[in-house]
Amino acid sequence: MVLYLSKSRGIVAIGRAISLFRQIDIAEWDDDLLAAGVLAFMRSGDLEHAIGRLKVGLELKGLVGGLEYILADTIANEKWSMLIGVWLEFYASRLRFEPASQPEAIRLERLEHVPGLDKLFFSFENYLSSDGAKTVRPINIYETTRLGLNALRRKMAELALAQPCQPRQATAILNIFNDHRLYEDYLVRVLDCWHGKSELRSNLTWLSELYRTYRKLPDAHPPIALLQHMFELHYPYGTATLEEIYQDWHRAWGDLDQWGYEKFLKYYAGVGDVQAVQQLWGRYVSKYPRVLKKPRAFRSTMNAYAQIGDITKAEEELRLMTDHHGVKPDLDIWNTLLKCYMRAQDYNRAVACFGEICKMYRPDSFTYAHIMAMSAKKGDLEATLGFFNQSQKSRVPVSKEMAMALVMAYCRNDRLMEAERIIMELAERNATSTAIWNQLIHFNGMQGRLSKCYELLQAMKSFDLAWDHQTHEILLQALVRVDQVQPAYRLLRTAYKEKLFPVGPEHFAVVMAGAVRIGDLGLVDILASHLLKAGQSMNFNAKVALAEASFKKRPSSSRTRQLGKEFVVHLRSLFIRNARGGEAHAVSTLPSDIRHLKKQTKSIGRAIKLLVELRDFTTAEEVISLYGGMFPKYKGSEPFPPEVISALMLGYFKDRKFRQVHDIWNQTWKRVLARARHRQATGIYPVHEYDVSRPITILAKTLREENSGKELLEVVQQVTSAGFKLTRSNWNLVIRYLAEMGQWEPAMRWCETMLMPRWRGWSPGKRSLQERRNMRNTRVLQASNAAVLSLQQQWLKLRKLAAWSASVSAKLREIERQYPRLHYAFTNTDFEHVSGALDGNRKASLKKSAMDMLRPFSHSELKGMKKALERQLRVQQSKRLRRRTRSPLRTVSSELKRRVRGARRHAGRTERTTHQSPTKDDGGERDE
């Protein structure tokens, strides 16, 4: 009856339960009855009597019924002194009645549901160190009470960690006890509870730090469940942590199990680490030989070759699989071969392989994803849509990989609104991923649409898609693109301090490059120091930014030259696979994936340009050689990236080796045209439209130096007729040079049609913020005042001749008719703009000219020049001083001459006065 009545919350029922409980003899008590009595007293509001009954049960019979009710109430209401008293009574009773037991191991289910246990734990710890210090002091005197108090602290920590609490709070709790079992329990629990949820990705950095701390503990022996969870958490981007998991697995368990082999083979194949895959695969098939009878055993080796685009090795592996092992390839193996052709950009083989797959199997979503990616990378929207429509006719479900290819094709064609609509529709069907959204944000950021980037980031949250490290890198790029370097720096600093996302060298490199571009050179050094303090190595892109900053500050210093030479060391390190100190189970995790290497060497053009500016051509050639070795396709018919070509041409241009500039251009033009030309239609692929924009700038400057306007005109006509496009700076430069070299009529035509539609007049008002951001995109065409004025000079010459020639007058009228925007600009120019253009050389910066002249000299040569100039200056100053300084004798003689001249003048005045005085007297007397 007491058990039944105690469950009620009615005051009458509780009163009856208490009355009945008091009538029962203590000898008849058990845990259930005592728990009912304690609960009844607590619901009646008599906590002290409930504690008293519990203490009686503990002391006389070792009963613990009702303990969890009292502990939950005292903890929730922060009655810490009462909590300590009750717990110590329980602890002593348990040791007395059950000496072999561990009192802290008791299950207190009621406490697990107390909200905010992490905050309550910190409040309890604060009480022990402040208000409760006097209470704790006598407790620590005796071993039993001291151990009991420590057990209470640990129990509260276990309960807080088991909820589970956030990793930030968990880190503070775990640091107090430094116990590997607490780490293991918390990591396994939190990874189980948050599996597949956004909280897991948002706390990735904190969990990585916790695991890194745990694995260093002396008794750490990670269970396989924890290792599996950590692998899934960090796959595929957490290279450093995955390497640690690999080592810990072997240290704790001796070798991988089948799950571990397959997962790590998949990881190493995904990053293109062929050496690691071959080593692991040999051990895998040796330990599990039965897998050789199935095609899945060969997926990792095929995928490793496919990832790096090694067609020869992939086809050889396929023959080994069929001829030697007698295994028939399944659809996954053929898809992997198709992926290899796609990565190698072998369009003909890819299409042929797709046809073979269609004959043998029913293509799945991965088949269509690979073939769609082949055309999407080129920006071939028509072919991509063709494959997509074919998949829908075959009722193939739209996978995330297919969606990625579709969105990429639209983005490559600058149809971002359509791409956004597709993503929104697919997101409603849960067919998008963070990587797809990242691509859309990236292309919007490249066009300066920062507000749209923020809008898309919020949309990702609404669809419960977590931001990853690449999302934050793209956001930093978008900020830097519109010169928002300080906000980008604040975001990076906050992310590093608060562990918002895994911050890597690539994030620092983005902000460092932006700081160099806007001239905030001090920020570059600050970011470099932050990077080193974070314990991360500086990647190639960050090294280039640091060298550029040093060059802008001190172009001839030895530090700048040394930073330039370090480019070679870093590129060489990308080839070296260091041994792991003789470990028995050491596998290289150095990615050889083509995409990864391209991202790592994104700043190669800027590096070569810097070395050219330093006149360090030997190092520049070595950098180019190493870069070509990393990408063997450049040794064949594939042209180098445009930024590398333009840097090479710039070096020859500065040395006035114009013949070599033309040779490089001719070779590059043939290769670029062959690569960019559309295979099934006229024109070129959209992805290659701006491949010649950088080299043509150097070529135009070369032709201007040679005064070859006709050749420049032919080059521009050749490039544009083939379908290539030029940037805003390209067009303005070309039009100026053509006008100066007598080809002003085609220059007028291009300027009118390409640049003048966006021209804002001679004295435009201030642009809006969004307009300024849009103009950061060099593909937005607009005429510069200098280009318009260069055309106007030729127009003015015609006007002078119009009065004497009817044909010239007709020509002027034709210009007014054909080029109305330019004619309006010509007739509304004020004198200030004309004089500025005609006398532009006079306004050139003397400081800039001096810097350009002195830049080739070394630091020691500049110091010698400085000393020589200082000596000449001292000589000139001493000469002027000697002219001004006179000898003492000369000073005395000059003073005597002055006095003699003064005496003579005084004597003359006295003589004149003496001759005139009788006249005055006579006259005076006569008057009287």
Indicate whether 620 belongs to any domain: yes
SS3 of 165, please? coil
The whole-angstrom separation of Cα 534 and Cα 497 is 10
Q: What is the pLDDT of residues 464-476, one digit of tens each?
A: 888 888 999 999 9
SS3 748: helix
**What is residue 590's predicted lDDT score, i.e. its pLDDT?**
42
Q: Is the confidence at residue 2, as pLDDT, over 70?
A: no
Q: How many CB atoms lie within 10 A of CB 848?
A: 9
Q: What are phi and psi of 630, to 5 degrees?
A: -70, -30
Q: Is the model more confident about 638 or about 908?
A: 638
- Range in 145-149, 673-677, 804-808, 916-920 with the lowest mean pLDDT: 916-920
* Mean pLDDT, rounded, for 841-856: 60
Distances (CA, A) of 876 to 533, 867, 882, 884: 52, 14, 10, 13
Task: Give the separation between CA 327 and CA 313, rounded to whole angstroms.
Answer: 18
Domain assignment present for 597: yes
More confident residue, 106 or 575: 106
In a domain, 554, yes or no: yes
Select from 447, 398, 404 the least CA-distant residue to 423: 404
The pLDDT assigned to 576 comes to 59
CA dihedral of 37, 39, 45, 48, whole degrees rounded to 10? 60
What's the pLDDT score for residue 921? 39
Interacting residues of 545 by C-beta distance below 8 A, sequence separation 6+:
509, 512, 513, 515, 516, 524, 603
Q: What are phi and psi of 335, to 5 degrees?
A: -60, -40
CA atoms within 13 A on the CB side of 832: 2
Average pLDDT of span 44-49: 84
Q: Give the pLDDT mean for 777-803.
A: 88
Is residue 11, in this structure, part of any structural domain at all? no
pLDDT in tens, 439-448: 999 999 999 9
pLDDT of residue 877: 83
Highest mean pLDDT among 12-16, 332-336, 829-833: 332-336
pLDDT of residue 840: 42
Confidence (pLDDT) at 591: 43
Cα pseudo-dihedral 785, 789, 795, 799, rounded to 10: 110
**Could you give the percent of the chain with pLDDT greater than 90?**
55
Looking at per-residue confidence, does 534 or 354 come out higher?
354
Residue 691, C-beta contacts closer than 8 angstroms, at least 6 positions apart: 639, 642, 672, 676, 724
Range of the domain at 597: 483-575+592-636
pLDDT, tens only, 329-346: 999 999 999 999 998 888
Query: What was the pLDDT predicted at 917?
Result: 43
Calpha distance 280→268 (Å, rounded): 9
Average pLDDT in the 508-514 region?
95
- The percent of residues in the chain predicted with pLDDT above 70, rounded, is 88
For residue 687, what are the β-bridge partners?
Answer: none
- Give the whole-angstrom CA distance, residue 755 versus residue 387: 37
The tens digit of pLDDT for each residue in 527-586 reads 999 998 888 889 999 999 999 999 998 888 899 999 999 999 999 887 654 333 334 344
Other CB atoms within 10 Å distance of the CB of residue 42? 20
Find the CATH number of the domain harbouring 558.
1.25.40
Q: Is residue 236 part of a domain?
A: no
Q: Could you tell me the two tokens for 182? A: 């607490």
Report the C-alpha gap between 837 and 833 in whole angstroms: 6
How confident is the model at residue 9, as a pLDDT?
65
The structure's pTM equals: 0.81
pLDDT at 833 over 50: no
**Residue length, the chain?**
928
3-state secondary structure of 474: helix
For 883-903, how does the pLDDT look when each residue is reduced to its tens digit (9 = 90+)?
Answer: 766 544 444 455 545 555 555
pLDDT of residue 501: 85
Residues 596-613 have a mean pLDDT of 90
Residue 546 lies in a domain: yes
**Please, are residues 536 and 505 in contact by the beta-carbon 8 Å criterion?**
yes
- Does residue 517 sit within a domain? yes
Whether 787 and 736 have beta carbons less than 8 Å apart is answered as yes
Lowest mean pLDDT among 14-28, 95-109, 289-303, 546-560: 14-28
Nearest to 118 by CA among 190, 70, 64, 69: 190
Question: What pLDDT sits at residue 922?
Answer: 40
Q: According to the model, what pLDDT value does residue 430 have?
A: 87
Q: pLDDT value at position 195? A: 79
Whole-angstrom Cα distance, residue 357 to residue 481? 43
Residue 509 reports pLDDT greater than 80: yes
pLDDT band at 139 (very low <50, low <70, confident <90, very high): confident
Contact 554, 560 (CB under 8 A): yes
Distance separating alpha carbons of residues 431 and 425, to the nearest angstrom: 9
**What's the pLDDT band for 508 if we cut at 50, 70, 90?**
very high
Contact 803, 834 (CB under 8 A): no
Cis ω for the linkage preceding 164 (within 30 of 0): yes
CA dihedral angle for residue 672, residue 676, residue 682, residue 683, rounded to 10 degrees: -80
Classify residue 475: in a domain, yes or no: no
98 token code pair: 């059950």
Total domains, the chain: 1
Q: For residue 865, what pLDDT band results from cuts at 50, 70 and 90?
A: confident
Q: Round the average pLDDT of the chain to a whole number and report it.
A: 86
Four-residue CA torsion sign, 202, 206, 209, 214: negative
pLDDT tier for residue 525 given thresholds of 50, 70 and 90: very high
